[in-house]
Amino acid sequence: MTNKILFIANWKMFGDLDSVKSIKSVINLSKKKKYKKAKIIYCPPYTLLDKFVIKTRKTKLCVGAQNCHQVINTGPYTGAISTTMIKKIGAKYVIIGHSENRSNGETNNQINKKIHSAISNNLNVIFCIGENLFEKKHNRTNNILKKQIYLGLKQIKKIDKIIFAYEPVWSIGTGKILTNKELTKQIIIIKNIIKNLFKKQKTKIIYGGSVNNRNINNLKQINEIDGFLIGGASQNSKKFIDIIKKTIN
Ligand code: PEP
């Protein structure tokens, strides 16, 4: 693993005003010298973004949104949030291309527009890619990943603000994970796809899918990854802290 280890908490459609308080213990942990290596980013639902920004002010923690609209500023898009709005509220990251949105019809073309919008607003992008079970069973994983990367990053010249999150769809929330050997091989393939496009630019790649405080000791052995995107287990600060502590010990 590289110098900084990313721990990105995707709270999905969970959390209320009370749960904001629960991150205090994570803030306290981040102040300890030993955990300086941890780069902790919270992605709560839109309704809590401002509360998280306020709560994490003057701490090392950062905040991100879970999605955005592709139109950069404002417009007649009921229920949508633009990257300008995300930026103005004080968040620094945005998750784009999560499989839970792809499965609702989000296309690679839309994802590409969202990424352009985020970058032009100087936001960091957590760009999710991953194959579903059907694609995996039919040996289409590498083609799918290539397509997601090529189309998602069309006309993108620099990847310094992009974190690639490899999230096999069949692994999210299921408890099923590739073996370390398989995962390492897959990450190397993804790195090569990126290298082909972006030559010598530095790549940040994290893994997401059923990461928890029981499998982290095993997953952290994989040198090729720079951290984790954590859904379910990040909503409980005790479990989230356990994951961070076990990774950095
Ligand atoms: C996710 O939704 O990004 C995710 C990784 O979820 P989980 O950790 O619950 O599998």
Q: Which atom of ligand 1 is nearest to the CA of 208?
A: 5
Please give the radius of gyration of the chain, using alpha carbons only, rounded to the nearest integer. 17
| Strands 5-10 and 38-43, sheet pairing | parallel
Backbone conformation region of residue 241, classed left if phi is above 0, alpha if psi is from -120 to 50, else beta: alpha
Give the CATH number, domain containing residue 189.
Answer: 3.20.20.70
The preferred substitution site among 12, 14, 164 for testing ligand 1, maximizing ligand atoms within 8 Å of CB, is 12
64 CB under 6 A from ligand 1?
no
Residue 71: predicted pLDDT: 97
Using the predicted structure, report yes or no on whether residue 197 has a pLDDT greater than 80: yes
Residue 96: predicted pLDDT: 98
Helix, strand and coil in the chain, % to nearest 5: 45, 15, 40
Query: Cα separation of 87 and 94, whole Å?
Result: 9
Q: Which atom of ligand 1 is nearest to the CA of 171?
A: 10
Is 98 known to be catalytic?
yes
- Tally of domains within the chain: 1
pLDDT, tens digit, 9 for 90 and up, residues 39-78: 999 999 999 999 999 999 999 999 999 999 999 999 999 9
Query: Cα separation of 87 and 98, whole Å?
Result: 19
231 CB under 6 A from ligand 1?
yes
pLDDT, tens digit, 9 for 90 and up, residues 10-28: 999 999 999 999 999 999 9
pTM recorded for the entire structure? 0.97
Residue 2: predicted pLDDT: 54
100 C-alpha to ligand 1 centroid (Å): 10
Query: Cα separation of 190 and 74, whole Å?
Result: 35
Q: Which atom of ligand 1 is nearest to the CA of 232?
A: 9
Model confidence at 1, in pLDDT bands (50, 70, 90)?
Answer: low
Residue 3: predicted pLDDT: 79
Residue 235: predicted pLDDT: 97
CB of 64 closer than 8 Å to CB of 95: yes
CB of 226 closer than 8 Å to CB of 207: no
Classified as helix, coil or strand, 100 is helix
pLDDT, tens digit, 9 for 90 and up, residues 200-219: 999 999 999 999 999 999 99
Classified as helix, coil or strand, 147 is helix
Query: Cα separation of 127 and 114, whole Å?
Result: 10
Model confidence at 7, in pLDDT bands (50, 70, 90)?
Answer: very high
Is 69 known to be catalytic?
no
pLDDT, tens digit, 9 for 90 and up, residues 71-123: 999 999 999 999 999 999 999 999 999 999 999 999 999 999 999 999 999 99
Query: Cα separation of 153 and 101, whole Å?
Result: 17
pLDDT, tens digit, 9 for 90 and up, residues 149-190: 999 999 999 999 999 999 999 999 999 999 999 999 999 999
Residue 47: predicted pLDDT: 98
Q: Which domain does 121 fall in, by range?
A: 5-248
95 CB under 6 A from ligand 1?
no
230 C-alpha to ligand 1 centroid (Å): 5
- Tell me which of 106, 135, 167, 224 is the catalytic residue: 167
* DSSP assignments along 46-96, one per residue: GGGHHHHHHHHTTSS-EEEES---SSSS--S-TT---HHHHHHHT--EEEE
